[in-house]
Amino acid sequence: MKKEYMKLIKGAEKARKKAYTPYSKFKVGAAILTVDGKIFTGCNIENASFGLAVCAERVAIFKAISEGSTKFEAIAVIGDTDKPCSPCGACRQVISEFGEDIPLIMANLKGDIKIKKIKKLLPEAFGKNDLL
């Protein structure tokens, strides 16, 4: 496995500790690597109005975008799950907006890791060309 991927997993694990999850208690962390080598992290944030919660993956992506980065090398997500933590459908759609070949590193706290390209997790994603 690439050295950068392990660094992303560690960043996601650290971000997970900051998650705000008073309702589900399900903490998730994410880290995204930009093409210029920057890493942005995010954690999930819940709200009493459940529909207003936001996932760790989107927090990391939106932080990167708000800082001017829109080209990504890879993204990692980690949770306290039996199998490697997989992004929800909304996060898959947001990730695919920035490239169908982005490697997604899914991990859990037990050290299990699975890597797949986002196009494998969301085939035929809605995209920019669908708006034309």
Each residue of 83-113: pLDDT tens digit?
999 999 999 999 999 989 999 999 999 999 9
Among 15-29, 70-84, 116-130, which is the least confidently predicted range? 116-130
Integer Cα distance of 69 and 120 in angstroms: 24
Number of domains present in the structure of the chain: 1
pLDDT at 77: 98
Integer Cα distance of 13 and 9 in angstroms: 6
In this structure, what DSSP letter does residue 37 have? S
pTM over 0.85: yes
Integer Cα distance of 98 and 75 in angstroms: 11
Q: Write out the catalytic residue numbers.
A: 57
Which domain range does residue 62 map to? 3-131
pLDDT at 121: 93
56 neighbors 16 (Cβ within 8 angstroms): yes
Each residue of 45-56: pLDDT tens digit?
999 999 999 999
The CATH number of residue 42's host domain is 3.40.140.10
pLDDT at 132: 67
In the structure, what pLDDT confidence band is assigned to residue 7 with cuts at 50, 70 and 90? Answer: very high
Environment class of 17 (CB within 10 Å of its CB; exposed 0-12, middle 13-18, buried 19+): exposed
In sequence order, the 6+-apart residues with CB closer than 8 A to the CB of 42 are 15, 29, 30, 31, 32, 56, 57, 58, 59, 60, 61, 62, 63
